[in-house]
Structure 1
Amino acid sequence: MATKNLSILFVASEVEGLIKSGGLADVAKALPKALSTLQQDVRITLPAYQKMAGIEQAENLLETQLEHWPHTAYSVKALQVDGVSVYAIDCPQYFDRPEMYAENNQAYSDNGERFAFFSAACLDMLPKLGFQPDIVHANDWHTGFVPYLLKHRYGQAPFFANTKSVLSIHNAVFKGVFSYEELQVLPEMHTRYAPDAAVSHTHVTMLRAGVLNADKINAVSPTYAQELKTELGSHGMAAEFQQRSSDLVGILNGCDYSAWSPQTDSFLPVNYKANRQSMVRGKKACKRELQQRVGLEQQDVAVYGMVCRLTNQKGIHYLLPILSEFLKHDVHVVIVGTGDPVLASQLKEIEALHSDKFSFVEAYSNELAHLVEAGSDFFLMPSEFEPCGLNQIYSMAYGTLPIVRGVGGLRDSVNDYDEDPDNATGFVFDAPEPAALLNVLQRSLLLYAQQPNEIKRVQLYAMGQNFCWNKAADEYLALYHSATRA
């Protein structure tokens, strides 16, 4: 059956290539780009942050104000990212600040108001720009009010009669909890009565507003979609996700290999491809460079890399109690990341005791992240929860075997060696405890030490996996069409 091409407004709080803090930005660039390749009319909108690339020179498309109270003045600037049109919503009182969400680890006190305004403005601008989307695709709590306003404010508006909403859940631990007082920028909140957004008499959560009002909801992996229906996996919103379960699907994120390919990666001393000779030579050179860069002796030992935010979500608290024990083996461990200062100081203490085998680099470095992916034999992702995860996919592309906990997108993308050696792409453990992580680390090391040819076979097989965005984009299109028929 031939389906018509759709017009889509993709609403996100950050977009790779313009401004980024995490994985949401990667999706917000790559998915619209993949949809545009499929001949869909897709446009992106995000706030016009002060630090955004190209914002100073951007053409002004629109000078206006909200049609609804409080009639806040704003303008819309035109940008592009990889050929996709971008509408940046400029409102200096909200977005002309040094950072996106927080300074010095303190969230801006008016974040609720800022992103409620953004949600209102990105719908307000559409009739004025003459862009009438079939689908408005919102992402995470920042844009949770988009489906809410589409239904409550614009439910009877002829312009939006055929517009449906989709909400993607990238990480449900962040919900956007605010009091009615903090959301006075929306007249809908003045009555202090919003049952499909409220979590108490005084507070609403923007994520709940989105989940209960979007036409369709998706999670960024099939397993995460299932986890959201549980108390543990949803961080307290299981009832809402269960209520919407017939409209909830899981679609595994794709990977933008243009930035993550060992064949073209400009951060590597030697590029390599998925044949044995090239891979062995390339990874050896990258390992040497990595060891030198982080101050470890250049040796032929198993290297275990990890690049992440230092948070419990990433499973650092499973690693800390067993790291010294694991370092008794003939291994090198390299961890790169910033975050929780307590976790950082614990890693530094272990490094001081084992500086010949363990290097902790407290930094956010894109160059070093690429070098760790290429120069390691194994990549650690023992996450407490992981909606999708991208580093396990990057790791496979570099012939570096991911060691993951079987949650969310990690479960959906990595095949465990002991479960299915022929189709293995890494190692998976399940129990959320340090002993289980130590066990899987030792399993991987045993294979590395005793069967070097088998390790290389698995590495090559992992390099052959393909998680490109085309497949994910097809699944999103199917989701959009199901929304338009709803």
Structure 2
Amino acid sequence: MATKNLSILFVASEVEGLIKSGGLADVAKALPEALHTLQQDVRITLPAYQKMAGLDQAVTLLETSLDHWPHTEYAVKQLEVAGVPVYAIDCPQYYDRPEMYAENNQAYADNGERFAFFSAACLDMLPKLGFQPDIVHANDWHTGFVPYLLKHRYGNDEFFSATKSVLSIHNAVFKGVFSYDELQVLPEMHTRYAPDAAVSPTHVTMLRAGVLNADKINAVSPTYAEELKTELGSHGMAAEFQQRADDLVGILNGCDYSAWNPQTDSLLPANYKANRQSMVRGKKACKKELQQRVGLQTEDVAVYGMVCRLTNQKGIHYLLPILSDFLKHDVQVVIVGTGDPVLASQLKEIAAKHSDKFAFVEAYSNELAHLVEAGADFFIMPSEFEPCGLNQIYSMAYGTLPIVRGVGGLRDSVNDYDVDPQNATGFVFEQPEPYALLNVLQRSLLLYAQQPNEVKRVQLYAMGQNFCWNKAADEYLELYHTALNH
């Protein structure tokens, strides 16, 4: 592989350690950190949101305005995350608000303009800061205009002549659909003609602009990259992904074990490591604490945990119809999450009827999430689709066997017990049907009841899996070099 160290600008709408709403933020911290460890000159840029940690103390590197119309004034503030320099683009009219994307479940009306401006500013600032990246790495719809502008606005600009773009797809269900009128901050949209971004005579999608203009595209797991080429898996953009198939790869996300490691996890009542005695003792203490915390009987019974956003994407609608049937067995189920109020009320109803066996905690609690990962025997992730997924990887690290549907990153990271008992790390079901989920839950329970030693062997084997970021970072570097030789 080429040895030349690269300069990389990593462009994202959120970064763990500064501000976060989901998995994108985890990647936006961990991947640059891993690339930095590999001696690459990587820098991150994101909008300077009001709530961002450390913004008040940050040094202002640049006060300027866009070279292109509408010449919006902005500043660049410097922060750092995990040793990587961060450029926060400060423009109060867009980012000085209580939240990142939405308030009270209502998206900000000018989100198209806010992120189109961000895409323009993060390229505009580079010559002024004297940073000339080999690769600009954009992420999801918010930054879809970055590859677009690199090609259309800066295609003949000497400064960017050697710069290539990569776009990562973390979740293609969100596309950033806006009308030309909502994107007037970009002169390129004034003509109302942008065939490589448009989805109708009046609307464009930022994700499409990125997919059709990036030099290389990657999805956050190999299976998700394949799914994006299908109608069902791409949520309506199959043609674009098929068109770019030669430039599309799948790279499975790594896992940030610094936060998710049962040996060092300060949120657990007992730490444990991957040997049998330690694991059995540690998980027993964590199970007891979990049962007490959520008000279930402290008894030695199979505990099934689930921590997720309450949405159909996470497969709650496969679980609801069969949950009462499953609770007839000698089990306990703990679900922690917030989201769709309709799904939440259905879970509350079941919890009221089966309060001795089922606890539903309607909360977003990091502490409880760690306790569920450690205290449960099995972790339920029956997702409708899952580009990568992290909870199945955390679960394995904690010796908790994931029960997943065979889609996206779940298929790429979990080995099913019935298919290959020796190398198993969990259980996989295929059909998007409630009874397929009930069947796999019962399979796992049967193993737990009849072969407790075998379950412990599989749990230990799962704890030995390593999805570290170094491996993923190597694959990204290879992708960057392919883009440069494009």
Report the TM-score range of the alignment, normalised by the length of the smaller protein: over 0.9
SS at match of 2:85: strand
Question: Which residue is 2:281 aligned to?
Answer: 281
Mapping for residues 120-135 of structure 1, pairs under 5 Å:
120-135=120-135
Question: 2:359: which partner in 1?
Answer: 359
User: CA deviation digits over 1:272-327, x for unaligned, max 9?
Assistant: 00000000000000000000000001010000000000000000000000000000
Q: Distance in 2 between matches of 1:240 and 1:2?
A: 30
Equivalent residue number for residue 35 of structure 2 = 35
Letter in 2 for 1:413: S
**Which residue of structure 2 lines up, in the alignment, with residue 23 of structure 1?**
23
CA distance, structure 1, for counterparts of residue 391 and residue 2 of structure 2: 36
8 Å CA contact 2:378, 2:401 repeated in 1: yes
- 2:221 and 2:400 map into 1 onto residues whose CA distance is 22
- Secondary structure, counterpart of 2:88 in structure 1: strand
Q: In structure 2, what is the Cα distance between the partners aligned to 1:4 and 1:462?
A: 36
Q: Distance in 2 between matches of 1:56 and 1:104?
A: 26
The one-letter code sitting in structure 2 at the alignment partner of 1:430 is E
Can you list the C-alpha shifts for 1:157-177, whole angstroms capped at 9, x where unaligned? 000000000000000000000
Q: Paired residue for 2:397? A: 397
Residue number in structure 2 paired with 1:54: 54
Amino acid at match of 1:397: A
SS at match of 2:467: coil
Shift of 1:2: 4.3
User: Matches of residues 197-276 of structure 1 in structure 2 within 5 Å?
Assistant: 197-276=197-276
CA contact 2:308–2:338 (8 Å) conserved in 1: yes
Unaligned runs of 5+ in 1: none
**What RMSD, in angstroms, separates the aligned Cα atoms of the two structures?**
0.4
- Which whole-Å CA distance do the structure 1 matches of 2:321 and 2:23 have between them? 28
1:151 aligns with 2:175: no
CA distance in 2, matches of 1:450, 1:52: 51
Q: Which residue of 1 aligns with 2:65?
A: 65
Hey, what does 1:467 align to over in structure 2? 467
2:452 aligned with 1:480, yes or no? no
CA shift for structure 1 position 27: 0.1
Partners of 1:360 and 1:190 lie apart in 2 by 50
Are the counterparts in 1 of residues 2 and 481 from structure 2 also a CA contact under 8 Å? no
SS at match of 1:136: strand
Q: Distance in 2 between matches of 1:92 and 1:164?
A: 30
- Equivalence map 1:292-371=2 (5 Å): 292-371=292-371
SS of the residue corresponding to residue 412 of structure 1 reads helix
Deviations 1:13-35 (A, max 9, x none): 00000000000000000000000
Count of paired positions: 486
**SS in structure 2 of the partner of residue 293 of structure 1:** helix
Following superposition, the deviation at residue 391 of structure 1 comes to: 0.2
Distance (Å, rounded) in 1 between the aligned partners of 2:475 and 2:146: 22
- Give the whole-Å Cα distance in 2 for the aligned partners of 1:100 and 1:412: 31
1:149-193 CA distance string (max 9 Å, x none)? 000000000000000000000000000000000000000000000
Aligned partners of 1:330, 1:47: CA distance in 2, in Å? 50
Q: Secondary structure at the match of 1:256?
A: coil
Shift of 1:335: 0.2
Q: Deviations over 1:135-156 (max 9, x none)?
A: 0000000000000000000000
SS of equivalent to 1:88: strand
Give me the whole-angstrom Cα distance separating, in 2, the residues matched to 1:329 and 1:65: 65
The 1-side partners of 2:301 and 2:101 are apart by 41
Cα distance, 1:196 vs structure 2:
0.1
Aligned to 1:374: 374
TM-score (norm: length of structure 2): 1.00
Divergent runs of 4+, >4 A: none
Match of 1:385 in 2: 385
Matched residue SS, 2:76: strand
Give 2:456's aligned residue: 456
TM-score between both structures, scaled by the size of structure 1: 1.00
Aligned to 1:80: 80
Q: Distance in 1 between matches of 2:20 and 2:126?
A: 25
In structure 2, what is the equivalent of residue 192 of structure 1? 192
- Compute the displacement of 1:3 (Å): 2.3
Q: 1:2 to 1:230 in 2, by over 3 A?
A: closer
Distance 1:60 1:89 in 2: 10
Cα deviation, 1:183-236, whole Å, max 9, x if unaligned, reads 000000000000000000000000000000000000000000000000000000
CA–CA separation in structure 1 for the residues paired with 2:66 and 2:341: 42
Cα separation, 2, equivalents of 1:480 and 1:457: 40
Partner of residue 180, structure 1: 180
**Offset of residue 365 of structure 1:** 0.3
